[in-house]
Homo-oligomer: A and B are copies of this chain.
Amino acid sequence: MDNRDSVQRPRRVTINDIAEATGFAASTVSRALSRPGRVNAATRERIVAVARELSYVPNTHARALTSGRTETVAVLVSDVTNPFYFGLIRGTQHQLKAAGYAHLLIDTENSGELESHVLSKMRQSIDGAILATSRLSRRLLAALATELPLVAVNRMVRGVESVVLDSPSGVAQAAEHLISLGHSEIVYMSGPENSWANEARWRSLVAAAARHGLPVRRLGPFPAGRMSGSAAADALINTRATACIAFNDLLAIGMLTRLRERGLGVPGEISVVGCDDMFGADFCHPTLTTLAAPIEQAGRVAVSMLLARLHDSAPATRQSAVLPTHLIVRESTGPAPR
């Protein structure tokens, strides 16, 4: 077969080359390499040695084709360039690499449609998927989970394994913090409506404020980007409230910029709390008080759960893991103005 590429890819060494070199059948080579117990130890050693010598690399596609296993896990995030995902990407990546799995990172661009489309299209090329902040409906998510091993991050749905960050307790901490600083009303700057985390945060703020008999208000929804910060800040100023908790740090940082533009002092006149402690929260100005989430760990845990599911045929031991969050107080919060 001639190759019209300018590039000549040298023929790769296959299992058959090893078979020929060792005198064993290809099937034996295959077993020696992927099912150690099935062949004689001496045979295996021999085969492994020759394989190494020829620098054999198994062909993923051939393997996937017959076995159905691809040793690949997809990680779906709604926006790769949202720094919030850093930790997640990092965590999943490490854990997957350690387990010898490939890491397929997919940006779903905040679209549930794209998300499910990708998932169905990819079904044959991945062993499982980790969905970070899925935009899918409960029903759809549950349905997908029956077709493909899935772990959701920051999304809790019956029938779907998940790892979630304990925002409720974190938001409660944030609320207490603001209340202890003398703020008498807390405004929640809402993120995208189809975000589970957004609703979870809002609900826990409502609950926390209720415990203190304080009013809360919700503004938004705002797209979860820095750009939305301006609109959010303007809306906040308009309420004359002195403290807010923003859906995430991106939004909070955007607000900080706008508040300064409009001459409002933070934390002098307004206190701002973010969520996620993402990259940048510690060097923006003023530095941001925020809810730190162990998101990298979440990634690791999610991978562990998924792999456990893939390896043991047993169904999940636990349906979901909850990771603690805690408040990091920086410069953006202070006493309420008198």
Contacts and interface: CB of A to CB of B under 8 A. Distances in A.
A61 B57 contact: no
A36 B89 CA distance: 39
A34 interface: no
Q: Which of A10, A61, A148 has the most CB of B within 10 A?
A: A61
Contacts of A57: 120-121, 123-124
A285 interface: yes
A228 to B, nearest CB: 14
A71 B286 CA distance: 46
Chain multiplicity (copies): 2
A4 interface: yes
Contacts of A179: none
A244 B110 CA distance: 40
Interface string A70-93: 100000000011010011011001
B7 A279 contact: no
A64 interface: yes
A243 interface: no
A33 to B, nearest CB: 15
Interface string A93-133: 10000000011111100000000000011011100000000
Nearest to A88: B81
Nearest to A128: B7
Contacts of A285: 283-286
Interface string A166-203: 00000000000000000000000000000000000000
A107 to B, nearest CB: 6
Interface in A125-169: 125, 146-149
A16 interface: no
Contact of A61 (B5, B7, B107, B125): B125
Given A9-B123, A70-B61, A313 B4 contact: yes
A70 B215 CA distance: 57
Contacts of A59: 65, 124
Interface in A207-225: none
A80 B93 contact: yes
B81 A147 contact: no
Interface in A51-66: 57, 59-62, 64-65
A121 to B, nearest CB: 6
A80 B62 CA distance: 29
Contact of A279 (B60, B83, B102, B107): B83
B7 A149 contact: yes
A62 B60 contact: no
A232 interface: no
Contacts of A120: 57
A81 B279 contact: yes
A22 interface: no
B60 A7 contact: no
Interface of A: 4-10, 12, 57, 59-62, 64-65, 68, 70, 80-81, 83, 86-87, 89-90, 93, 102-107, 120-121, 123-125, 146-149, 226, 253, 256-257, 279-280, 283-286, 313-315
Given A61-B70, A81-B87, 4 more contacts: A59-B124, A80-B93, A80-B105, A257-B283
